[in-house]
Amino acid sequence: ALDALVELRSALQQRQPVCLEIPECDFTHTYQPAPKVFVIGAVHISQALAKMAYVAGFPIEIVDPRQAFATAERFPNTVLHAQWPVDFFQKNALDAYSAVIAVTHDSKIDDQALLAAVQSDCFYIGALGSRASHAKRC
């Protein structure tokens, strides 16, 4: 049973689903990696999203190159990355358990993240913007 738990932990650390079977107990359970929510932009909307995600038990990470906005005071209990999305997502691959939400209203920041998201297996991609921004993106 210990080997099965080691395998379970290893798979989840690699963000892979795994089935735990303990035949002696007739126990089988499939575990999925925890979803991760990446919010692009440390703006006022992100503050509300971070609070809701925290209460709902979703791990959330804020990605924004503007260090003045991405602060622990504004985002308690949140992992912050003061990086451009293109740099962040080159080192942190998106997978089927990832969600990306772009809310900066700045196409120089949001569009990098959206491009990375549509080229991945993300389960959710969201973007906040005007009709004009939407038209430019499409």
Name all domains of the chain by residue range, CATH numbers in brackets: 2-31 (no CATH), 36-137 (3.40.50.720)
Closest CA to 47 of 123, 101, 125, 115: 101
> pLDDT, tens digit, for every residue of 107-120?
999 999 999 999 99
Q: What's the whole-model pTM score? A: 0.81
Alpha-carbon span 9 to 3, nearest angstrom: 10
> pLDDT, tens digit, for every residue of 51-65?
998 898 888 999 999
Mean pLDDT, the chain, whole residue set = 89
